Structure 1
């Protein structure tokens, strides 16, 4: 018994020795930028003066009192919720429809994954070219058929960017949910069929409850990814017309690189970090209570 205890203590000591360099590296990698950002959020730092002087909570007050920040935050929340719901719902429907076909022809899954292989910035450039009101092929063909549509105009731009986001990232949700669907044993489906649960009843009452953990993960990941969207919207619209499509990421970018208000930009980033941590803590508490 003593030999086993001694061996376990040696293993723990060796683990500590091996983990110390990694912990120090992570502390330097994450700790230094965090401290710098905290200082920047409390100072009047600029590109001419990267040290700045302490201004207290002025940057946070300016950030919270700026209506453009709340407009950008509202856009990001609305965009993230709408895109996440559409993507996950469409992926779930596609999983139940295409699963029998993909079991026989799994190579077709690679074809369905092609949209998310394209860089979001490149996707924005591509759609900016094909949806241009004057030179884009799609508006030209629609106008020839008598349907004049300006996809990048004020009336349609929100629908356009939502459609682009959904088309590119629905395959991601589909892949995760398809993997969860394929892990369900065939014997369970046979037993459900023997009991009379077939078709919609089997999918809704048997398969869907077993896929809920994967469904929650997909919802969480896609919401975060859609909330912080920057690439294709900035390339496609630059946050316009006006501030109509300015997400919170684009707003921070403009504060930092266009308006040169570095302190306020970092303050907004810190506020978003705190909100994210609060959201994660609430979700973890909810999971613990349910378990």
Structure 2
């Protein structure tokens, strides 16, 4: 049986003439800005938004990363480490998840991330909301459909992100939003980039978390995230939402991607990369986003945002 060829969107394939040069609200300087990136697995931050994260960190912004799972179901590229894969280890991916935490630490350092944590860890922990017995959410896994799009796995764990109640997961993300109080929150679009169920669920949870964070808290404290951006997946030429195109840090992005050695390989000149399926994708430091919520004041150029 012929296996479907995975289809991934190409970053920067569509840039509108009126695309904004950055993600910050008008009047917010990069050195004063706080940006919270919400991703599904280790390596997603580097592949999807690494150039942007490195760019803002280099400009002095506080870049914070919340990762929903430890990527326990990932396939391993280097042969000497394939014993860590969930099916080979027979541990549900625990060993691989722990190994990938170390890779994520190295990637975050390369990007200049000020703080990072997983869902279920403070500050991404709402004491009134339940968590799985594992203390956090696990990778749901995925399969490739006949159309080359990612779809649900048949054997997801009951502790997985997609098995979790979205409202409960959103409460944990909202706790992080209240703690960080970012000027900008970045996650995936509703298609999850290429359809991965954990990406789609992360989008849903992050959007719900923004609404939860805007509600009055203890002592009547009310706050809302001004801007919510989605890393653009498959370009939609007729998409009416404002677009931002960030020409980010190629150097930091490459270093961060290289840190995720169990999951991907960069070619010798750093112009392409491939995951475990061997499908080569072009490397890009141009990352585009669509506005999900908030008033960007598109008629004003934000101070210092395109530095």
Higher strand proportion? 2
Higher helix proportion? 1
Report the TM range for the smaller structure's normalisation.
under 0.3
TM-score, normalization by structure 1: 0.22
